[in-house]
Amino acid sequence: MFDRRLLTHFDWVLLLTVMTVAGIGILNLYSATSIWTGSGPPIYLKQTYWLGIGLTIALGVSSVDYRHLEYCGFFLYGLTLCLLLAVLLVGKTSMGATRWLDLGLFNLQPSEIMKIVIIITLARYFSQKGNVRGYSLRQLFVPFALLGVPAVLIMKQPDLGTAMMVIFIGGTLSLFAGLRRTTLAVLAVLGSSAAGGGWFLLRPYQKQRILTFLNPEHDPLGAGYHIIQSKIAVGSGGFWGSGFMQGTQSQLSFLPERHTDFAFSVFAEEWGFTGSLILLGLYLFLIIWGIYIARRASDMFGMMLALGVTAMIFWHIVVNLGMVIGLLPVVGVPLPLFSYGGTSMVTTMIGTGLLLNISMRRFMF
Amino acid sequence: MSLNGGWEDNPGLKKRFLLLSLAVVLIFLLLVLRLWYLQIISADRYRELSEKNRIRYIPVAAPRGPIYDRNGEILVDNRPSFIISVLRQEVEDKDALLARLAEILGEDPAELEKRWQSGSRFPRYRPFPLAEDVSRESLEVIQENSVNLPGVLTEVRPLRSYPHGELGAHLFGYLGEITQKELQSKQFSSDYRPGDFVGKRGLEKLLERYLRGIEGERLLEVDVKGQELRILKTQEPQPGNKVFLTIDRKLQAAAEAAFGEEAGAAVVMDVKTGAVLALTSRPAFDPALFARGISGKEWIDLLQNPRHPLQDKTIQGQYPPGSTFKMVTALAALKAGAAYPSTTVDCGGALSHGNRKFRCWKRGGHGRVDLKRALKESCDVWFYKVSLDLGIDRIAAMARALGLGIPLGFPLEGEKTGLVPDRQWKQQRHGTRWYDGETVIASIGQGYVLTTPLQLAVMTAGIANDGIVPRPQVISRIEDLAGNILEEMQPEILNDAQLNPSDLQVVKRGMEAVVNEPGGTAYKSRLDEIRIAGKTGTSQVVKLKDDHAPKREIAYRFRDHALFVGYAPAQAPEIAVAVLLEHGGSGGSNAAPVAQKIFASYFDVPIPVHAPPSSPMPEPSPLSPESFPPTSTDAVNSPPGGEGGPAQPGAASAMTGTAPLIEPSTPAPHPPSSPPVADDRSLPPGGEEIVPEAEGD
């Protein structure tokens, strides 16, 4: 049933913002990888292809009423959980982690799908079990179980970054659904003690990252190298930056992963504080706009869905930038729309599609 | 489904949205604060760090794996070479720099400019070579002037070295710079970069993944002047693996020396295991030329040399085997019952069949010969006669059973399979039926038959090893640095020819007689301490009308090939040898002595000086001067259709036309008055024996 209102209410602001950020990202990748001499198409071109694919997916996702998702939410959840289990059993191992299912044509990363699916699942749960007085600890058992099982499975891969993202997204949604004061207090105590206990569950390299974060100069050539070099890159950018394709840090390849997780360092070096402010402004606008969409959603499910997607994008931005500028330990989390990578692009664009979807159906019941 | 109004009534929601937005803004503010701290407050400090932070990334080439012979003697090694390279990121005035360097190195500035251009495809931070393998003097001058030469680095890089010069050049192959096409191929895609050297031929190519090693790298922090401040990271290169060959360096050297200036190929094989002890192809090239980068002119010279120094004749050269093929015909005939050891043929110098006349190499004929004598004196007519009853298909089956005309699975690239013709092949290839005349000439290894020297060695080893034909192998084992064995050769059987022991016995006795009995075609190449069994062959390249022209008057490329195959010791064979002299004259006088030297080297025995012509000549009768022209298969009728010498069909047709009776080159005894010698081509003065050098063939 095509409704003309869908077009009139199409959220051009959101789409334009997303495309602008992605465009800046591609420009930045062009600079970051300009000196590479590899075979195959250059990175920035590949990222452009991914953006095209992502855009198609986003428009596809936005065209089917999101309310259908409410009914198949748990089915999707079960399916993705099975995929996560399959990864642990028959997954493809690369660089010490088993994250992918080899589907022949491409490698599927179920933990990425889980980011979206957990949003749908919890949105459905919280929207159906509306609770004016706030959730008690016991009432939270089900959503926490829904959240905990995939998080543990992802942690086992091990993929700390994604597991953390899933927990952050779920946490944000739970918090927003409303907690009782006592619940909040208990959770805070539990959380901090769990953080202490969790230390012993971390793998050595993960501990190393956290230690390094606390004192990067301690190991300047090993694990601290990334952080130090990234900080030098960002800092040396100064107010105006060194100019497009002129960043010595990035161009001289001291920066590791400069096309993926550390893409922002390149940008900050070449465009300086001004450029960084503009980019951050765009990201902030995107997040606030996401919240705005949630605020205006036509139903509870749509609201929670929009909030979840916004939370996902938000946490990626904050954790990535926090890492790049030395506020947080090095965790492999990409900067949405900016870091090179098809997986991240597709996940972000599915989220964008959902936001568009909710936004343009805000007057429809 | 809850409706909009449903939750808007929730008083907490409005507050929560407000709080949420506030939290987001606050966190972003935190990020901005941090950026402000980094980019505004500490900008100068970080900029200084960044300035200082001139890091050089220096790749450290891994020494390629060494190659050893079977006794652990080094055959291919690495030596340090000095390289002048340049880091574009640190060069400010390119032209001035190149001019200064050109002066120091004594090179043309334009040449340096060219290399600079080709180096600009490298990243700016990656040094690329401007001059390779420079002298120590130039190096010192550059180091002294390093202040005036910003961005210029001197590096030591391992370069392939060949302590034994040309030895084994074809086997080892050579390196060359990786091409764009190779870079894009799957094999090289991962860790190769432009400018890398990779194996292009031979073992260097075959074993690339074992030999290459893993490049190391150094990250140096340098100041603005390029002075090293500290080493940030050192990753030592990991040298390539060690390769041990089955080759015996001493024997290989002896084989190559035995050729002198002649072109050709020799293969020495362990008859039991198939291990190749020597594999030589002459003329060779100097692999060191390739190691330092061959010049255009040197390359053209190699390519245009009429004796094809780049070709590995042991596996890529295909030659008519001539009389060395007679064992195949004999074994096939015995197996099929088409002949018996006692079968005698009256050789009157030719066999008439149909309206054609097939000549024996010996004009006057051998008289009555049995199988043993037919082998010993290489009587063609015995084989002509027998082959007519035998038929080509049974000859072909035996040839293939012994490794001729089939791929041997030798690891080196470019192995040719040779050609063993049969009826089916003729029908498919030429669309015509097989003629008896073709069987006749095939029986003495002429006509369509082509073999590689390696195949001949395999055949000989198969006969020596009682019909169990070993697969030839040349890589003994590959070890990593710690001495762990990565690959090890296991002897393999190519085929069991299922030869009857009594048949073998006869053929082997014939081969022994060739070398050890007076009148044998290689009698003068015997050794005193070790009994060699063998067979000579002289194969026709093209049929010449004038078979009396002295060798020197025959164009080089039309001269006969000389062959010898043999094994020793005759009673308990250890090694098989195949020798081919390209356009080298006759098997008995030219190829057998080469093999003799190889056998002598392997068994470490002296080469006897045999008495001159006065030595007992048991068969004086055939030695009358006019019967003497030792030659190739004399007078072979052109098969119908005029398909003659296959080696050079173009030349053959040019020379032969349709003349039915063309005879191969043979020098006249010369000077005529001197004692008849086998032929005048190769005998050293005074050293000859009067043996019908028959090789008839």
Q: Which of B254, B266, B232 is nearest to B591 (CA)?
A: B266
Residue range A236-241: mean pLDDT, rounded: 88
The two three-digit tokens of residue B494, written as one number: 């190519």
B468 vs B656: CA distance, rounded Å:
41
Question: What H or E segment, with its residue span, contains residue B464?
Answer: helix B453-464
- Whether B229 has its CB under 8 Å from any CB of chain A: the answer is no
pLDDT at B681: 34
Q: Tokens 């705005």 map to which residue?
A: A292
Give the mean model confidence (pLDDT) for residues A294-318: 94
CA angle B647, B652, B655 (to 5 degrees): 155
Find the residue in A nearest to B10 (Cα): A132
Q: Please check whether residue B449 is in contact with residue B438, taking contact to mean a CB–CB distance below 8 angstroms.
A: no
> Are residues B39 and A273, on separate chains, in Cβ contact within 8 Å?
yes
Q: Which amino acid is at B458?
A: V
Decide: helix, strand or coil at residue B474. Answer: coil
Q: Is the pLDDT of residue A219 over 70?
A: no
For the segment B663-687, the average pLDDT, to the nearest whole number, is: 35
Closest residue by Cα to residue A119 from A357, A346, A361, A354: A354
Of A209-218, A288-297, B159-168, B677-686, the poorest mean pLDDT is in B677-686
Rounded Cα gap, residues B267 and B415, in angstroms: 14
User: Which residues does chain A have within 8 Å of residue B55's beta carbon, measured at their own beta carbons?
Assistant: 252, 254
pLDDT above 70 for B676: no
Residue B126's closest chain A neighbor by CA?
A252
Q: What is the residue-wise DSSP string for B190-209?
A: TT--TT-EEE-SHHHHHTHH
Q: Catalytic annotation on B323? A: yes
Give residue B506's pLDDT. Answer: 93
Q: How confident is the model at residue B83 (pLDDT cuts 50, 70, 90)?
A: confident
Cα distances (Å, whole numbers) of residue A296 to A207, A364, B642: 42, 11, 96
- Residue A232: list chain B partners with CB under 8 A: 46, 49-50, 53
Nearest chain B residue to A282, by CA: B28
Measured CA to CA, the distance from residue B238 to residue B217 in angstroms comes to 11
Which site among A267, A296, A300, A313 would you substitute to test the B interface, given the most B Cβ atoms closer than 10 Å to its Cβ? A300
CA nearest to B469, candidates B391, B562, B406, B390? B406
Q: What is the nearest CA distance from B511 to chain A, expressed in angstroms? A: 60
Least confident among A137-141, B512-516, B587-591: A137-141
Mean pLDDT of chain B: 80
Asked if B31 lies within 8 A of A318 by C-beta distance, the reply is: yes
A236, A288, A312, best to mutate vs chain B, most B CBs in 10 Å: A236
Token digits of residue B548: 């009396």
C-alpha A293/C-alpha A362 separation (Å) is 8
Give, as one character, the DSSP assignment of residue B450.
Answer: B
B667 confidence band (pLDDT: 50, 70, 90) = very low
- pLDDT tens digits for range B120-162: 766 666 778 888 888 888 888 888 887 778 788 888 888 888 9
The alpha carbon torsion through B612, B613, B618, B619 (nearest 10 deg) reads: 140
Annotated catalytic residue, options B85, B323, B476, B638: B323
Proportion of chain B above pLDDT 90, given as a percent: 44
In chain B, what residues touch A291 (CB-CB under 8 Å)?
A: 17, 20-21, 24
- pLDDT for B666 equals 37
Cβ pair B21, A270 in contact under 8 A: no
Q: Is the pLDDT of residue B659 over 60?
A: no
Distance between CA atoms of residues A189 and B33, nearest Å: 29
| Partner-chain contact B38 A235, CB within 8 Å | yes
CB-CB neighbors (< 8 A) of B42 in chain A: 235
Residue B601's pLDDT is what?
A: 95
Q: Has residue B458 got a pLDDT over 90?
A: yes
* B4 CB-near residues (< 8 Å, 6+ apart): A297, A298, A299, A365
Quote ipTM for the complex.
0.92
Lowest model confidence (mean pLDDT) among A53-67, B104-118, B212-226, B363-377: B212-226
Give the per-residue SS3 of B243-271.
EEECCCHHHHHHHHHHHCCCCEEEEEEEC
- pLDDT of B556 reads 74
How would residue B608 be classed by pLDDT, with cut points 50, 70 and 90? confident
Give the pLDDT band (50/70/90) at residue B543: low
Out of A37-41, B415-419, B439-443, which region has the weakest mean confidence (pLDDT)?
Answer: A37-41
Window from A134-148, A178-192, B6-20 with minimum mean pLDDT: B6-20
**Residue with the larger pLDDT of the pair B451 and A207:** B451
Query: Is residue B517 scored above 70 in pLDDT?
Result: yes
Structure confidence at residue B639 (pLDDT):
38
Render pLDDT for B367-406 as a digit per residue (tens, 0 to 9). 999 999 999 999 999 999 999 999 999 999 999 999 999 9
State the nearest Cα–Cα gap between A318 and chain B, in angstroms: 8
Residue with the bigger pLDDT between A125 and B675: it is A125
- Classify residue B414 as exposed, middle or buried by CB count within 10 Å of its CB (0-12, 13-18, 19+): exposed
CA distances from B680 to B250, B379, B630 (A): 31, 21, 10
Residues B57 and B220: their CA atoms lie apart, in Å, by 6
Predicted confidence (pLDDT) per residue in B620-643, tens digit: 333 333 333 333 343 333 333 333
Backbone φ, ψ for residue B77 (5° rounding): -130, -175
Judged by CB atoms within 8 Å, which residues 251-310 of B form the interface with A?
none
Percent of chain B with pLDDT over 70: 80
Both ends of chain B: CA-CA distance in Å? 103
What per-residue string of b and e applies to B199-221 under the rule 16 or more CB within 10 Å gives b?
bbbbbbbbbbebbbbebbebbbb
Of A42-51, A109-118, B550-559, where does mean pLDDT reach its minimum?
A: B550-559
Q: How confident is the model at residue B552 (pLDDT cuts 50, 70, 90)?
A: low
Express each pLDDT in A243-274 by its tens digit.
Answer: 887 776 665 555 666 788 889 998 999 999 99
pLDDT digits (tens, 9 = 90+) for B84-112: 888 776 777 888 888 888 888 888 888 88
- Give the pLDDT of residue B671: 35
Is A52 strand, coil or helix? helix
Mean pLDDT of all residues in B649-668? 35
Tokens standing for B186? 């799957």
Size of interface A-B (CB pairs under 8 A): 142
Residue A224 above 70 pLDDT? no
Residues B301-353 pLDDT 10s:
888 888 889 899 999 999 999 999 999 999 999 999 999 988 999 998 889 88
Omega before A158 within 30 of 0, i.e. cis: yes
Interchain CB distance below 8 Å, A37 and B122: yes
What is the distance of C-alpha B396 from the center of its chain? 26
pLDDT value for B679: 35
* Per-residue pLDDT tens digits for B30-78: 999 999 999 999 888 888 777 666 667 777 888 999 999 999 999 999 9
Average pLDDT of the residues in B665-685: 35
B544 class by beta-carbon count within 10 Å (0-12 exposed, 13-18 middle, 19+ buried): buried
pLDDT band at A130 (very low <50, low <70, confident <90, very high): low
* Residue of chain B whose alpha carbon sits nearest to that of A290: B21
Determine the distance in angstroms separating the CA of A259 from the nearest CA of chain B, rounded to an integer.
16
Closest in A248, A294, A325 to B50, CB measured: A248
Mean pLDDT of B263-284: 94
Tens digits of residue pLDDT in B169-194: 999 998 888 887 787 777 776 677 76
Evaluate if residue A215 carries a pLDDT over 70: no
Q: Show the DSSP H helices in chain A as ranges.
A: 4-8, 12-32, 43-63, 67-90, 110-128, 141-155, 160-177, 181-198, 204-214, 224-236, 248-251, 263-296, 300-324, 342-360
Beta-carbon-side half-sphere exposure of residue A44 (alpha carbons within 13 Å): 16
- Please name the residue of chain B whose CA is at the shortest distance from the CA of residue A313: B24
CB within 8 Å of chain A, chain B residues 19-78: 20-21, 24-25, 27-28, 30-32, 34-36, 38-40, 42-43, 45-47, 49-50, 53-55, 57
Contact B46 A314 (CB under 8 A): no
Mutate to test the interface with A, among B19, B31, B32, B232 (most CBs of A within 10 A): B31
Asked if residue B64 lies in contact with residue B208, where contact means CB atoms within 8 angstroms, the answer is no
Encoded tokens for B634: 């004399």
Residue from A35, A252, A361 whose CB has the most chain B CBs within 10 Å, to mutate: A252
Residue B663 is predicted with a pLDDT of 38
CA distances from B10 to A363, B15, B207 (A): 19, 10, 75
Phi first, then psi, for residue B445 (nearest 5°) are: 70, 30
Q: What is the DSSP string of B560-580?
A: PEEEEEEEESSSS--EEEEEE
